Each structure stands twice: as structure tokens, then as C-alpha cells.
Amino acid sequence: MKLIASLTSPYARKVRIVLAEKKIDCPLEIENPWSGETRVSGYNPLGKVPVLELDDGMTLYDSRVIVEYLDNISPVSRLFPDGNRQSILVRRWEALADGIIDAAVAIVLERRRPADKICEDVIERQREKIDRGLETLSRELGERPWCHGDGYSLADIATGCCLGYLDFRFPEIAWKDDYPNLKALQDKLQLRASFVDTLPPAA
């Protein structure tokens, strides 16, 4: 089994954290999908990371499929709760956190266009998604110590990766001031070795 990933991808970070939490030893092959020499499309026809290559050569993508697979192959530190409704609620958290990341990535890509081609309307629409998403994350978390139920789950991992990506790419967004409960959650997550060991490299 091998993980093909970028060190700056928040989706790949989610998978790497799950691997660490479940104590699954998996070699990491670093790929930049934006490089002209990238081989990512040979693993994933969509040209995106992360990709998990299984021992029989089959490849899994995207991150949501990979983390569900990893949670099912090892009983260590189960990250999805039992029961369809509870499991769906954790997936809902993941979908919202990933959606915020999707909007953030869209802004990053738009800003990489030539200055005369950048569409501020696109950036504004994506920023509105981020703002609404953060507001919803904060409201859903409330005063609870964890995103779902009484313990740590994939909902926390996904949310932590989302918040970490905003810190990495958008330090100007003052979400910590606006949502102290999300900051408290992030502070707690950043004490875990799995989060420390997967921090993106400094820009």
C-alpha cells in the first residue's frame, strides 16, 4: 500500500492524519499535481491527490473514499461511529469542512491567473462560501469539546485540516477572533502528534 500525496494538500493531510491515528504504516510518495513532470494522472485520471495505491495495484480516490477504507481495515481508533445516522452526521461534518477547503482552493487558483484575467466576482463568491461554512461549523460545534458525540472522530480531523489550510493560505481571515470555539478545538487538535507531524512546509 502506498499514498501518493502533496505535502501542502489539506485533503492529503486528512488521509495522513487518519493513517497516523490508526497506526497504519504506509509509504508516502510525494507528488506535485501542478508540475509538468507529475505522474499523478497515472494513478488518478482526474490528476488529483491524494491517491491510495493498494497492494494489488488498485487505486482509491478521493480523500473521503480513502479515509473510509482505512477506517474499515483497522479496528484501531475507529473514526466513524456505529449506526447509519451517526456515521452520516460525521460524513456531513467532513463534507462541510471539505467544501470550505474547495472554496479556498478555488481562490488560490484564481489568484494564480494573470492579473488581468483574475475575476474578483469568483473570489467573492468563494469567500462567501468560506464565511458561511465557518459560521456553520462554529454553530454546530457550540460548546461541545468535539465535533460529533463525546469523542474524537473524523469530523474533528476534517475540521482541523480545514482550519489549518485557512491558516496556511489565508492568514488574513480572522476566524479565530470570530469563532473562539473553533480556535479552542484547533488548539486541542494541534497537541496531537498526527497534526504536528503533518503540518505543511513553510511557504
- Mean pLDDT of the chain, nearest integer: 97
For domain 84-192, the question of CATH label 1.20.1050.10 is answered with yes
Q: Where in the chain is CATH 3.40.30.10?
A: 2-73
Is 71's pLDDT higher than 70?
yes
pLDDT of residue 73: 96
**Identity of residue 199:** L
Residue 124 backbone dihedrals phi, psi, to 5 degrees: -65, -45
Percent of the chain with pLDDT over 90: 97
Q: Cβ-count burial of 79 within 10 angstroms (0-12 exposed, 13-18 middle, 19+ buried)? A: buried
* Helix-strand-coil split of the chain, %, nearest 5: 55, 5, 40
pLDDT of residue 202: 79
Q: At the fourth CATH level, which superfamily is domain 2-73?
A: Glutaredoxin (3.40.30.10)
Percent of the chain with pLDDT over 70: 100
Each residue of 39-58: pLDDT tens digit?
Answer: 999 999 999 999 999 999 99
Q: Where in the chain is CATH 1.20.1050.10?
A: 84-192
Torsion angle of the four alpha carbons 15, 16, 18, 24, in this order, in degrees rounded to the nearest 10 = 120
Query: How much is the pTM?
Result: 0.97
3-state SS class at 192 = coil
Each residue of 76-115: pLDDT tens digit?
Answer: 999 999 999 999 999 999 999 999 999 999 999 999 999 9
Q: Cβ-count burial of 106 within 10 angstroms (0-12 exposed, 13-18 middle, 19+ buried)? A: middle
Query: Per-residue confidence at 203, pLDDT binned at 50, 70, 90?
Result: low
- How far, in Å, CA of 199 to CA of 197, rounded? 6
Neighbours of 85 (CB within 10 A): 7
pLDDT of residue 36: 87
- How far, in Å, CA of 3 to CA of 171, rounded? 29
Query: Per-residue confidence at 138, pLDDT binned at 50, 70, 90?
Result: very high
- How far, in Å, CA of 133 to CA of 171, rounded? 17
pLDDT of residue 63: 98
- How far, in Å, CA of 113 to CA of 189, rounded? 34
